[in-house]
Amino acid sequence: MNIYIEDLVSNAIIEQMSHGGNDFISLHQAEEYGRDVIADLRKKNFDAHLILSRGHLQSFLVNYKNYFHKYEVDGTIYFYKASDITLNDLIKKLRGYLPLPILQSMMCDDVVGELLDRQNPSVGLDTFVASSSSDELESNLYIECHNLLSQILNDNDNLIFGAMNHGIMKISYDIATEKGCYITGVVPEIYKDDFSELDCDREITVDRISERTDYMVESSDVVLILPGGIGTINEFFSALEKKGNKEYSGEIILYNCEGMYEKLIEFLDRLHLMGFTRNKPSDLCKIANNTETIGEIFHETRIKKYHELSKNKGKRLINE
């Protein structure tokens, strides 16, 4: 009775997600889960073995490339679920073929308990969503942004936004509310009455627009630029300048939805080629033409944050 890497990764992630946990796992954590499964099977007198090798790992990544992606941080290998794959998709694809004794051990309370104990709590991202507050855009832009935000926002995330209940800002707010995210609204003093239309967990009022932009960028793990006008583009350039001057270390993502930022991207490239900027646009931000790319960036940012938290937790335990 053999158990392979795809069995471990998929079933560990299924169990974690079923218990409100992460949709990613490190190779080391998957192997520990596998050892616990084997120990449980052997207690029941089954002859069970883990089959783990570089070749099997490569085959797993090729055969299940539509389901999982690999990401490496500081030499630690992680696997994460593709953004467009649901928990039910994983169950249907990767549980139906398993022998019943293996499945029972993988779902055993003791084994799953150990798996969850080894995990830090699921990681939330502080996400500044910069976008339009206009109700007069083409309908496809609202649909694309709705689909994207539904994919990438998790219930333990903190949405940071400009606190207007209109346009794409309203879509961000509505999805965050529906998912149970923490919501931080930031407005300049002249727009403080906008809070009356919203139910933010935290309401922040500043004196000027520039202060609002500074706060939203500097408080975030990710700056996500969705379709927007002058205000959104100003927020994008402010984030780029901060990152170029090492005042911001998070991710900046420009969603080139329907190609609307194509000319802006060309302009940024030209500035660099003409010597006006030290950094290429790709050095400072990630340009995404589709929701799948943004989903991958969000997953990898979560994993990096999780990895740092895990390292810091380990350091505290050693010091104690």
Interacting residues of 243 by C-beta distance below 8 A, sequence separation 6+: 249, 252, 284, 285
| Per-residue pLDDT tens listing for the chain (320 residues) | 899 999 999 999 999 999 888 899 999 999 999 999 999 999 999 999 988 888 888 899 999 999 999 999 999 999 999 988 999 999 998 888 889 999 999 999 999 999 998 876 678 999 999 999 999 999 999 999 999 999 999 888 999 999 999 999 999 999 999 999 999 999 999 999 999 999 999 999 999 999 999 999 999 999 999 999 999 999 999 999 999 999 999 999 999 999 999 999 999 999 999 999 988 888 999 999 999 999 999 999 999 999 988 776 544 433 44
Q: How many domains is the chain partitioned into structurally?
A: 2
Domain assignment present for residue 177? The answer is: yes
Domain assignment present for residue 317? The answer is: no
Among residues 119, 136, 160, which one ends one of the domains?
119
Placement of tokens 């169950």 in the chain:
91
Domain assignment present for residue 308? The answer is: no
Kindly state whether residues 107 and 132 are assigned to the same domain.
no
DSSP 193: G
Kindly state whether residues 70 and 193 are assigned to the same domain.
no
Among residues 75, 102, 119, which one ends one of the domains?
119
C-alpha–C-alpha distance, residues 265 and 114, integer Å: 48
> What are the two backbone dihedrals, phi and then psi, of residue 251, each rounded to the nearest 5 degrees?
-90, 140
Percentages of the chain per state (helix, strand, coil), in multiples of 5? 55, 15, 30
Closest residue by Cα to residue 247 from 280, 275, 214, 278: 214
| Cβ burial, residue 219 (10 Å; 0-12/13-18/19+) | middle
Q: Give every strand in the sheet of 24-26, ordered side by side.
A: 24-26, 76-81, 68-73
Is the Cβ–Cβ distance between 189 and 161 less than 8 Å?
no
DSSP 83: T
- State the pTM of this model: 0.87
Kindly state whether residues 99 and 193 are assigned to the same domain.
no
State the angle between helix axes of 87-94 and 5-18 in degrees (0 to 180), rounded to the nearest 10.
140
Domain assignment present for residue 309? The answer is: no
Kindly state whether residues 136 and 254 are assigned to the same domain.
yes
Domain assignment present for residue 88? The answer is: yes
C-alpha–C-alpha distance, residues 26 and 71, integer Å: 9
Range of the domain at 132: 126-303
C-alpha–C-alpha distance, residues 267 and 235, integer Å: 17
